Structures are given as structure tokens and as C-alpha cells.
Amino acid sequence: MSLPETVGNRIRELRKAKGWTQEQLAEAAGLHYSYIGGVERGDRNISLETLEKIMNGLQVPAEEIFKFKEDSLYKRALDEHITLIGGQDADQIKSLTRINKEILISIENAKKCSDER
């Protein structure tokens, strides 16, 4: 698979994790929806400026575009969480992190209680 196809697939994964259509991503990135389709198929050899528009539209850092891992349910769930918090400010992310930690502690405590029975 070529680099444009691999990057296009990753953009598609991140878009879908956000629950967006190509039209919604195009609007957020200031591009035409048919152009997004070409990018996702790897038909377009996009510039860095266009890639930056897409990253800004998705609200993800560059490293997220280039995370090419084996497709898995875990990866898709993690991508969804990353895109959900991507548009939040630092204070909101801190609050969400604290809440997630509390939830995980509660789950772990409930599991321990269940295992002791």
C-alpha cells in the first residue's frame, strides 16, 4: 500500500471515529467533500498545507495521522476517545482525565469485590 493510501485510510479512521461524514470533515477543513474522498482513497497526493487543514478539521495532532497500527477494536475505541477530547481546552482535558481515573478506580474496586466473593 502506498503512503497516500495509508494516510488516506488513517484519515478515514479518524473521521469515522468522530462519527463524521466526508461532507462534515470537508466543511471543518475548508475543503470540498469530493476532495476528501480522493484523499481517503489515496488518489490525491496532498500538500502539507492540505494535510494541516485536515488535521485542524479533525482536531488531531500530526502524530495521530501517522499512527499506522494493526486495525483492532482497541485502536478504534482509543481513536474515538482521542477525537472526542481533541477539541477541548487544557482545563477540560484535566477534568476529563480526573473523571476517567475515578471511573477506572471504581471499576477496579468493583472487580476486586467480585473476585473476593
What is the C-alpha separation between 43 and 29, in angstroms, rounded? 18
Nearest-angstrom CA–CA distance, 80 and 1: 24
pLDDT in tens, the chain (117 residues): 788 998 999 999 999 999 999 999 999 999 999 999 999 999 999 999 999 999 999 999 998 898 876 656 667 777 788 888 878 899 999 999 899 899 999 998 888 887 777
CA distance 4 to 99: 38
Compute the distance between CA of residue 19 and CA of residue 47 in angstroms, rounded to an integer.
25
Cβ contact 54:29 at 8 Å: yes
Q: What is the pLDDT of residue 75?
A: 73
CB 16 within 8 A of CB 49: no
Model pLDDT, residue 69: 64
Q: Which domains does the chain have, with CATH numbers?
A: 3-86 (1.10.260.40)
Residue 68 pLDDT: 74
